[in-house]
Amino acid sequence: MKTKPRALTLLDVLSGAMILAAAGLVFFYAPVEALMGPVQKVFYFHVATAWVGMLGFLVAAVAGYLYLRENQERFDIVGAAAVEISLVFFLIAIIMGSIWARPIWNTWWTWDPRLTTAAIVELIYAAYLLLRSGVDDPERRARFSAIYAIFGFVSVPLTFISIRLLRTIHPVVVGGAEAASQGGFNMDNPMKLAFFFSLAAFSVLFADLLWHRIRLGELQRAVTALRIRSYQEEN
Amino acid sequence: MKNYLRAVGAVIWKDFRSEWRSRESLSAMLVFALLVILIFNFALELDIEARTSLSAGVLWTTFIFAGTIGLNRSLAVEKDRGCLDGLLLAPVDRTVIYFGKAVGNLLFMLVVEAIVLPVFTFLYGFNVFQPGFLVVVLLGSVGYTAVGTLLATMVVQARTRDILLPILLFPLTLPVVIAAVKASQGFFQGLPLEEFSVWLNILVGYDLIFIAVAFMVFDYVLED
C-alpha cells in the first residue's frame, strides 16, 4: 500500500487552519446580529455543514451513476465515503439548526419544509448504510448502493416541494425577501465574508475527509484481497 | 412493441395464476389492512370530528403498510423457488420483468384497496366513491408500486431482506404519501378542485419521474 501522499498532509493542515480561521472570523470579525444577538453566530457553521451534507449526497449520486456506467469499484468506494461523511455533517447541521431555533422560534423543532426534508434526507442515507451492511457480495452491494443513491437524490427535491407547499417559516437568507419576521436578516459585508469563508473552509474539510475515507476504502479492499489470497494459499 | 407488451402481459398473467392457486398474498394483505384500520380506530379514537380530518391519513397508512407486505412477498416468492432465474432465462428485455412485476403488484394493491374502501365506507359512513378520489388512489398506488417493485427486487437479494424493504421504501415514497393524503382530504372535504390540484400534479410528476428512473436502472438490479 502506498504511504500517505504529501498533498493529503498539506490538505489536512489547510483544512484545519481554514476551520480555525473561519471560527475566528465568525466570533471576532463578524458583528453581533442586532435582533438575535450572539446565537445568530450558529448560522455560519449551520449553513456550511448543511452545504457539505448536500454536496456529499450529490457526489454519491454522481458516483453511483458512474459506477453503473463504468463498473469500476473505485466509484463505489467514493459513493460510500461521501455518504458516510455527509451523514455526519448533515446531522451536525440539524443539531445546530435546533440550537438556533430554540431562542428564535421558541421551539427546538418545527415541521417546516427544510427541517422535515433534512430529517428525511438523513433517514434516506441512514437507510443507504443499512442497505450496504445488508448485502454481502461486494459487487452486488456496489450496484444496489449506486441505484439507491440515485433514487435518494432524485426524491429529495420532490420531497422538498411537497412539504414546501405546506407553508414554511424557515428564513431564506441569501437572495430572499420579507424574511425578517421569521428570523431572517440581511448580512452586511463582514458577515458575508465570515459566511462565505465558512462555506469554503467546510468544503475544503469535506474534500480532505473524503480523500481520507477513500484511502481507507482502498485499504479495506486490499486487506480483503490479501485475506482471500492467504486463504487460497493455505488450501 | 407488441411483443414487449405480450411479454409483460405474460409475467402479469403468471403472477395472477399462481396467486389464484394459493391466495396467500392477497389474503395476507387484506387481513393486515383491516387490522391496521382496527388499530387506528382505537389508537386515534376516531369519533365523528376526528374522522373528517384524519381518515385520508388513516387510509393511506393502511394502503402503504399492506402494500409493503405484498411487495416483499411478490419478489421473495420468485427468489426462493428459483423462479427469478427462470424469468431471467426468458429471451426478453429485463425491463419486461420489471413492468410485469410492477403492474402485477399494482393490481394486487388495487384489489386490496377495492375491498378496504367499501369496508371503510361501511364502518365510518363516509362516501369514498368519488371519481376524483379513485384517480388519487390509482396515482398514489402507481408511484408506490413503481418504486417498491424495484426496491423489493434488490431487497430479496440481500441478507437482511426481512427488514430492509420498509426502511428503504418509506423515505423515498414520502412525496407520494403527502400528496395522496392532501388530495384525498380535498375530495373528502368537498373543496373546489383548484385548491388542491397541485397535489395531483405532484403525484403525476412523481409517477413519471420514478417510472423513468426505474426503467433506466432496472437492468443493474438483476445482473447475475
A201-214: pLDDT as tens digits: 999 999 999 999 99
User: What pLDDT score was predicted for residue A176?
Assistant: 47
- Chain A touched by B83 (CB under 8 Å): no
CB-count burial class (<10 Å; 0-12, 13-18, 19+) for B148: buried
Question: Which of A133, A148, A162 is closest, CB to CB, to B175?
Answer: A162
Rounded Cα distance between B92 and B101, Å, is 14
Structural domain range at position B188 = 2-223
> At CA A136, angle to CA A135 and CA A140, rounded to 5?
65
User: pLDDT tens digit string along A149-176?
Assistant: 999 998 888 888 877 776 555 565 554 4
Q: Give contacts of A130 with chain B, Cβ < 8 Å.
A: 160, 164, 167-168
Rounded Cα distance between A98 and A105, Å, is 10
CB–CB contact A134 B209 (8 Å): no
**Contacting B residues, span 150-189, partner chain A, CB-CB under 8 Å:** 150-151, 154, 157-161, 164, 167-168, 171-172, 174-175, 178-179, 182
Q: Give contacts of B205 with chain A, Cβ < 8 Å.
A: 158
Q: What are phi and psi of B131, to 5 degrees?
A: -55, -45
Question: Which of B151, B171, B182 is closest, CB to CB, to A123?
Answer: B171
- Chain A touched by B209 (CB under 8 Å): yes
Q: Give contacts of A140 with chain B, Cβ < 8 Å.
A: 157, 224
Q: For residues A213-233, b (16+ Cβ closer than 10 Å) or e, as one string?
A: bbbebeeeeeeeeeeeeeeee
Question: Which of B159, B160, B172 is closest, CB to CB, to A151?
Answer: B172
User: pLDDT tens digit string along B71-108?
Assistant: 988 888 888 878 888 888 888 888 899 999 999 999 99
Give me the residue spans of the domains in chain A: 39-234
How large is the average pLDDT for residues A190-219?
A: 90
Positive or negative: CA dihedral A169, A170, A171, A174? negative
| Nearest chain A Cα distance for residue B22, angstroms | 30
Q: Which of the pair, A38 or A82, is modelled with greater confidence?
A: A82
SS3 A167: coil
Most confident of A38-47, A169-178, A214-223: A214-223
CB-count burial class (<10 Å; 0-12, 13-18, 19+) for A200: middle
Question: Which of A127, A135, A155 is closest, CB to CB, to B158?
Answer: A135
- Chain A touched by B223 (CB under 8 Å): yes
User: What pLDDT score was predicted for residue A182?
Assistant: 54
For residue A33, the cross-strand partners are A37
User: What pLDDT score was predicted for residue A1?
Assistant: 56
Cell numbers 475544503 correspond to A204
Residue A10: pLDDT above 60? Answer: yes
CB–CB contact A155 B168 (8 Å): no
| Domains: count for chain B | 1
User: pLDDT tens digit string along A47-95?
Assistant: 899 899 889 999 999 999 999 998 888 899 999 999 999 999 999 999 9
CB–CB contact A158 B202 (8 Å): yes
Closest alpha carbon within chain B to A69: B220
Question: Helix count (H) and strand count (E) of chain A?
Answer: 6, 0
CB–CB contact B171 A127 (8 Å): yes
SS3 A37: strand
User: Tens place of pLDDT for every residue, chain B, 224 residues?
Assistant: 888 888 889 889 988 888 888 888 889 999 999 999 888 888 887 777 777 778 888 899 999 999 999 998 888 888 887 888 888 888 888 889 999 999 999 999 999 999 999 888 888 777 777 888 899 999 999 999 999 999 999 999 888 888 899 999 999 998 899 899 989 888 888 888 887 888 898 899 999 999 999 999 998 888 76
Query: Pick from A115, A116, A122: which is nearest to A57 by CA?
Result: A122
Rounded Cα distance between B15 and B11, Å, is 6
A interface test, pick of B98, B160, B162, B172 with most A CB neighbours within 10 Å: B172
| Own/partner pairs, A137-141, CB within 8 angstroms, 24+ separation | A138/A73, A138/A76, A138/A224, A139/B224, A140/B157, A140/B224, A141/A76
The percent helix, strand, coil of chain A (3-state, each to 5) is 80, 0, 20
Q: What are phi and psi of A61, to 5 degrees?
A: -65, -45
| Nearest chain B Cα distance for residue A164, angstroms | 11
Mean pLDDT estimate for chain B: 88
Q: Are B71 and B109 in contact (CB under 8 A)?
A: no
| Nearest chain B Cα distance for residue A113, angstroms | 12
For residue A37, the cross-strand partners are A33
The percent helix, strand, coil of chain B (3-state, each to 5) is 85, 0, 15
Residue A3: pLDDT above 50? Answer: yes
CB–CB contact B213 A151 (8 Å): yes
User: pLDDT tens digit string along A224-234?
Assistant: 889 999 988 88
Q: Which of the pair, A209 or A102, is modelled with greater confidence?
A: A209
User: What pLDDT score was predicted for residue B4?
Assistant: 87
Residue A196: pLDDT above 80? Answer: yes
- Chain A touched by B198 (CB under 8 Å): yes
Q: Give contacts of A76 with chain B, Cβ < 8 Å.
A: none
